[in-house]
Structure 1
Amino acid sequence: MDTRWVDAASRRMPRVTARIAAAAMLAPGRRMRVRPGQRETMTRAARETLIVGRHRVAVYRWGTGERRMLLVHGWQGRAAQFAEVVSRFEESATIVAFDAPAHGGSRGITADIGMWIQTIRALDAQFDFDVVVAHSFGGLAALRARLAGLVRAQVVAISAPPSTGAVMHAYATQVGLTDAVASRVNEALARRLGPVMASIAMGSRADAPAGASQILVIHDRADRAVPVVAARTIESTWPDAATLMLTDGLGHNRILAAPPVLDAIASFAADASHADASAQAVPAA
């Protein structure tokens, strides 16, 4: 997009520019392709379609293990990005992933964070996940679902932004919107999505339900899409203990396939299972 045109339009036609920008923010655009190294993993998946509201969501499942893991991709992403995660855990877990509306194999033109949260909630009602591994925009959705008590699972948030406000700021900077137009875009999104969804953020420690679980936050110091300060913000605003893992040189997407990251997920998932088992144990009389 030509930022010079956007800058001129936002100053001369702020209301029109805001409406166009708001619509553009909800349109993911060109879909990510399945890479050659991901195809075999996707071929192995059991596939089904989940009806979530008015949307038909493509769902993928691997493995039959007792541990139940949900994988949540981000904006302009797709389930296939987790091919290495699936290969690492499918022998010991039941793994479920989905393509959000307007992404991957799911139909649609527009999407919003509410669709992610609704899909996470619908799948959790079916599988009762132990762990949710979520990337980027999907990480924000998963954390909000956990804070709202919609899922009980432990959450691994990878390369996640801390709020939709942060997403909006990054978008406004990228396309060259003025502050006034960016504010109007937020207002337009609030009218469409409702004020809670439009301003969704981690919240404060007082906002979370009792027993909000520990989370693992993973982020690369060189992430250009979501700066590393986002991870520190999530860590500091999560209502319970949060473990922060920083990597170097993995960027925003390659981090999903990095062996040290897979090792950290495995360790965290094991600790989560042990903690859950201890909480459910009944003392002997």
Structure 2
Amino acid sequence: MNALFKKLLPKIYGAFLNIYVYLSPVKAAEKAFTIFTKVRKGRVSPHQKEYLDPVKHERIDVSGHSIQTYNWPGKKETVLLIHGWESNTWRWHKLLEKLTKADYNVIAFDAPGHGYSSGEYLYVPLYAEVLEHMIQTYKPVHLIGHSVGGMTILFNEYENPNDIIEKIVTIASPSEFHEIIGHFKELLGLSDRMLKALEEYVKNRFGFTIREFSSSKFVLTNTKKGLLFHDRWDKITPYHASEKVHAVWKESTFISTEGLGHSMHQEEVNKKIIAFLQG
């Protein structure tokens, strides 16, 4: 019964919102946005705790959140790691083996609502505020982001170009916000009226439309060197997302894979990341 209820819950939310939007479009849209941005997984599990606790660095207050940072000291340039949705810093443990062996100084942090950081919600503009604070604090030369972490890097670089950044790596990252919202609409069964209210809410709150929020637009002015990974059979973010970004990012290289999935923890991926940073 619980499994059936969980399966039906998104449609129940959607049915409620489709009625609520007639009574109060703004409040219905605000409720939809909180559902969309609610973090439901990604806290530190017991086996992750053993790995993360010894490398905890400082906690930093950013945008109303207490953010947990981590540090693996090294003598080379600083690399900043930005994880994806419903994940945490532990997701980098395999790449960290190679980064530390290569003697990079590595900084990572848990996003709001993830890992050891405070909060319940996450969306790219908030994530970018935290990222920018980390960039100004730790002065990384290289940025590596997985999934929405990669999208956040490209958005922040568009909003706040940082001269200190030399290279950017994105792994299985989405590009078009309207596609993400489209999936949300389908998942909940939202009406066109409800979707329009949500679009208006986003525009009024953040100053851009859902179609304007696009990594393939953000990189048009990006002069940094980029390395993009995406698996052709990724079931979470569409392969064409990285194709679109690469097509307009002049200084980027695109590595296409087959059968590596969305997480892309594999040895071949991590080796190519190190080679790119050292190149």
Bin for the TM-score computed over the shorter chain: 0.7 to 0.9
Q: How does 1:274-285 map to 2 (within 5 A)?
A: none
Offset of 1:31 from its aligned partner? 3.1
| Worse overlay, 123-132 or 9-18 | 9-18
Shift in alpha-carbon separation, 1:153–1:165, aligned structure 2, 3 A: farther
Indicate the SS of the match to 2:61.
Answer: strand
Match in the other structure for 2:213 = 200
Q: Counterparts in 2 of 1:225-244, with a 5 A limit? A: 225-238=236-249, 240-244=250-254
Residues 145 and 171, structure 2, Cα contact 8 Å, conserved in 1: yes
Moved more, 154-163 or 141-150: 141-150
Q: What TM-score do the two structures reach when normalised by structure 1?
A: 0.83
Q: State the match for 1:283 in structure 2.
A: none
Q: Where does residue 270 of structure 2 map in the other structure?
A: 262
**Cα deviation code 1:62-89 (max 9, x no counterpart):** 1222221010011211111111111111
**What is the RMSD of the two structures over their aligned residues, measured on CA atoms?**
2.5
In 2, are the aligned partners of 1:221 and 1:246 still within 8 Å (CA)? yes
Equivalent residue pairs, number: 265
Deviation per CA, 1:91-120: give whole Å up to 9, x if none: 310111111111110111222212221222
Flag structure 2 segments of 5+ consecutive residues without an equivalent.
1-6
Residue in 1 that maps onto 2:193 = 180
In structure 2, the partner of 1:220 is 231
- Specify which of 7, 12, 33 is matched with residue 5 of structure 1: 12
1:49 to 2:62 alignment = no
Query: Are 1:88 and 2:98 an aligned pair?
Result: yes
Instruction: Tell me the alpha carbon deviations over residues 169-224 of structure 1, each in whole angstroms, 9 at most, x when there is no partner.
Output: 22222222233322321222333334379942225489526xx1121110111211
Shift of 1:165: 2.4
Question: 1:216-251, CA deviations, whole angstroms, 9 ceiling, x for partnerless residues?
Answer: 11011121110111111111232x222111122222
> Which residues of structure 1 form unaligned runs of 5+?
272-285
> What is the TM-score normalised by the length of structure 2?
0.85
Out of 25-34 and 132-141, give the one that drifted further: 25-34
Query: Percent of counterpart pairs with the same letter?
Result: 21
Contact 1:79-1:98 within 8 A present in 2 as well: yes
Provide Cα deviations, 1:24-44, integer angstroms capped at 9, x if missing partner: 1121123344473x4554244
Sort the Cα spacing of 1:179 and 1:236 in 2 relative to 1 into closer, same or farther, 3 A.
Answer: farther
Asked if residue 75 in structure 1 is aligned to residue 88 in structure 2, the reply is no
What is the match of residue 166 of structure 2? 153
User: Is the aligned partner of 1:171 residue 2:184?
Assistant: yes
- Structure 1 stretch displaced more, 216-225 or 110-119: 110-119
Residues 103-149 of structure 1: CA deviation (Å, up to 9, x unaligned)? 11011122221222122211111222121110111110101222334
Match for residue 27 of structure 1 among 38, 50, 63: 38
Structure 2 vs 1, CA of residues 170 and 32 (structure 1 numbering), >3 Å: closer, same or farther?
farther
